[in-house]
Amino acid sequence: MDVRHHRSDLFPEIEPFACGRLPLDERHVMHWEQAGNPRGKPVLFLHGGPGAGASPAHRRFFDPRFYRIVIFDQRGCGRSTPYGDLTDNSTQHLVADVEALRRHLDIERWLLFGGSWGATLALAYGIRWPAHCLGFILRGSFLGTRRETDWFLHGMGTFFPEAARAFYGFLPEAEHADLLTAYYRRLTDPDPAVHLPAAVAWCRYESACSNLIPREETSRYLGGEMDAAALALARIEAHYFMHDTFLADGELLANIRALKRVPAILVHGRYDMVCPIASSDSLARAWPGARFVVVPDAGHSAMEPGIRTALVRATESMKTRLARSE
């Protein structure tokens, strides 16, 4: 066996070899970048949220000698513009954006790598365009169902009661019966004095529940630039939740047969409280080409040690498979 399969940490920091801006329509413009080997096997990193945006650390899951690493910021977040915008922002728009980027970069087929919402988008794209997919590496899969959204809003407090109390407590008690609508109303208010505190409250809640052992930095939304960064994540997440992620309930799992011949590695933390492991378990049982990797000592975050190790090993394992297929 290739000893590099045993790599347990991220690859070194790397800078992009190309960046660009792709107009998507009359309103939205996508920021994209490429790193690694310009002639390597293409891999597309799909960030979570929706609305979280990409970061330099996301380049480091992949061997830069082998992979042509493609990363972009989805509509309304990161370096894409306009920032925090919800107009024409849906799952179907994002699937079309991924395909537009593939054509723009003249890529025939690519490996899809995504976690949480990134896994949702990878699946939605793959079901629509299976012929363009070399394979999938999915972490903490979220299938976009109403049950999962309800868990996010009401279930995580079972294990993180302090975080849930703060999340609920931000709102007047009279609005607790419909948390999502109450937060959405504030997050879409044009006044920063209204939408920024709501965004901070939302992101503190999600961040606090994302790790097996909560870290000090989960309370980092304390003002300034980090508050502004929270806005796209909270506003766009609430927008997608308000619209049932723009998917029919159970749609992705019901159509996974479109990918039955495509290889996949599904990585999930046993104690993932943001996206419970039952979703990946259902996906693995319905997907003949999938290998299911359960990380016994991890929660949701891609940067937890066990998850990080499993993801790097997955890209190394897929690297061997792709090299053999040449």
pLDDT in tens, 161-211: 999 999 999 999 999 999 999 999 999 999 999 999 999 999 999 999 999
Provide the pLDDT for residue 150: 97
As a whole number of angstroms, the distance between CA 154 and CA 148 comes to 10
pLDDT in tens, 30-53: 999 999 999 999 999 999 999 999
Is 93 among the residues known to form the active site? no
Q: Are 195 and 231 in contact (CB under 8 A)?
A: yes
Provide the pLDDT for residue 229: 77
Rg from Cα positions in the chain: 19
Provide the pLDDT for residue 215: 67
pTM higher than 0.75: yes
As a whole number of angstroms, the distance between CA 221 and CA 202 comes to 10
pLDDT band at residue 221 under the 50/70/90 scheme: very low
Angle at the Cα of 255 (from 119 to 280), degrees rounded to 5?
Answer: 40
| Active-site residue, from 31, 85, 272, 280 | 272
pLDDT in tens, 251-291: 999 999 999 999 999 999 999 999 999 999 999 999 998 99
**Left (φ > 0), alpha (ψ -120 to 50) or beta: where does 138 sit?**
beta
Distances (CA, A) of 311 to 87, 90, 121, 236, 308: 33, 27, 18, 26, 5
- Examine the pLDDT at 2 and tell me if it is beyond 50: no
| Active-site residue, from 80, 116, 207, 301 | 116
pLDDT in tens, 291-301: 999 999 999 99
Q: Which CATH fold would you assign to the domain 3-145+247-324?
A: Rossmann fold (3.40.50)
- Examine the pLDDT at 10 and tell me if it is beyond 80: yes
Q: Give start-end residues of each CATH 3.40.50.1820 domain in the chain.
A: 3-145+247-324
- Examine the pLDDT at 218 and tell me if it is beyond 50: no
Provide the pLDDT for residue 323: 85
- What is the DSSP secondary-structure string of 74-88? PTTSTTSBSTT--TT
Average pLDDT, whole number, for the chain?
93
- Examine the pLDDT at 223 and tell me if it is beyond 60: no
Is 8 among the residues known to form the active site? no
pLDDT in tens, 81-93: 999 999 999 999 9
Is 268 among the residues known to form the active site? no
Q: What is the mean pLDDT of residues 10-29?
A: 97
Q: What is the mean pLDDT of residues 14-25?
A: 98
- Examine the pLDDT at 113 and tell me if it is beyond 90: yes
- What is the DSSP secondary-structure string of 76-142? TSTTSBSTT--TT-SHHHHHHHHHHHHHHTT-S-EEEEEETHHHHHHHHHHHH-GGGEEEEEEES--
User: 10 Å Cβ neighbour count for 106?
Assistant: 7
Provide the pLDDT for residue 214: 72
Provide the pLDDT for residue 55: 94
Q: Is cis: bond before 50, omega within 30 of 0? A: yes
Q: Are 74 and 98 in contact (CB under 8 A)?
A: no
Q: What is the mean pLDDT of residues 229-240?
A: 95
| Encoded tokens for 91 | 């799952």
**DSSP character for 291?**
E
Name, in order, each residue with C-beta under 8 angstroms of 140's C-beta and a sequence gap of 6 or more. Answer: 115, 116, 119, 267, 268, 269, 272, 274, 275, 280, 300, 302, 307
Q: What is the mean pLDDT of residues 71-96?
A: 97
Residue ranges in 209-325 assigned as alpha helix (H): 225-242, 251-254, 278-286, 305-324
As a whole number of angstroms, the distance between CA 253 and CA 105 comes to 30
pLDDT band at residue 213 under the 50/70/90 scheme: confident
Provide the pLDDT for residue 227: 65
| Active-site residue, from 195, 239, 268, 300 | 300
- pLDDT above 70 as % of the chain: 93
* Amino acid identity, position 70: V
Which of 21, 127, 98, 111 has the alpha carbon at shortest distance from 61?
111
